[in-house]
Amino acid sequence: MTEKLPGLVYLVPLPIGDDSLIQYRTQFADQEIKKIKYWIAENARTLRRYISSLKLDIVIDELEIFEHNHRGKEIDLIKDLNSIPKNEPIGVVSEAGLPCIADPGHRVVLWAHRNDRILFPMVGPNAVITALQASGLSGQKFIFHGYSPVKEGEWKAWIQTLQNGLWRGYAHSFIETPYRTDKTFSTLLRLLPQETSLTMAVDLHGTRHYIKTQSVKNWKMNKKTWGKVPVTWVIGF
């Protein structure tokens, strides 16, 4: 199929946990990855480690890896993309999961559209969708909010908006850095109404994999310390 489509831009998934790769790795994916010499990566070291783990006899030192993240300048990204021969495929990866979904990559996709490059999103894991899928909350109406607020006043205003605005009845998903997991948990239990549904999707596909939805009231009855573990959160009012 892809042999007839030169210059593809592949959106390549990376594992979100130790058990991810075995679930989504396919012969087709391996064959496509072997075609890619030019890569745009959020972290070049992560990409090199991932490709090495596949054991596809790819010579890592022969790859051209351009490192770009959300803090980089767009002009530098465009310069690197324009330097890649038009008929050469390009691979795009983020640190984990699907590029462009709660991760960098959208600027590469926009460049591809503007330059008549065909995009080829590859199937793989995504923490936001996985958490929502397993939450039991609305999969028809949902919003991903990115990172949660930090200050107390911002938290209160945000929660009030979700309850009283047009977004009531939606599932609301967000993430936070692992070192803030316990503080985020405590903040949610303190500020959310007792009957609010709260989902914790903990260390997805990892050694501490755990997904649970229950009311804030019930979470308080079984409150625990989580430590520095990645969590995707979903709230339903």
Domain boundary among 65, 98, 121: 121
- The pLDDT assigned to 1 comes to 61
Q: Exposure pattern of 177-195 as b/e (b: 16+ CB <10 Å)?
A: eeeebbebbebbbeebeee
Based on the fold, state whether residues 229 and 182 are members of the same structural domain.
yes
- pLDDT tens-place string over residues 175-228: 999 999 999 999 999 999 999 999 999 999 999 999 999 999 999 998 899 999
- Same-domain check for residues 141 and 73: no
Q: How many domains does the chain have?
A: 2
Average the pLDDT over 13-39 and give the result: 94
Same domain for 132 and 102: no
* Average confidence (pLDDT) over 83-93: 96
Indicate whether 71 pLDDT > 90.
Answer: no
For 111-123, write each residue's pLDDT tens digit.
Answer: 999 999 999 999 9
Average pLDDT, the chain: 94
Does pLDDT of 37 surpass 70? yes
Range of the domain at 95: 2-121
Q: Report the distance separating Cα 11 and Cα 138, nearest Å.
A: 27
Domain containing residue 64: CATH number: 3.40.1010.10
Q: In what order do the strands lie in the sheet with 90-93?
A: 64-67, 38-41, 90-93, 9-11, 119-121
- Torsions phi, psi of 37, nearest 5? -100, -35
What share of the chain has pLDDT > 90, as a percent? 86
Sheet holding 210-215, edge to edge: 142-147, 171-176, 231-236, 197-202, 210-215
The model's pTM: 0.89
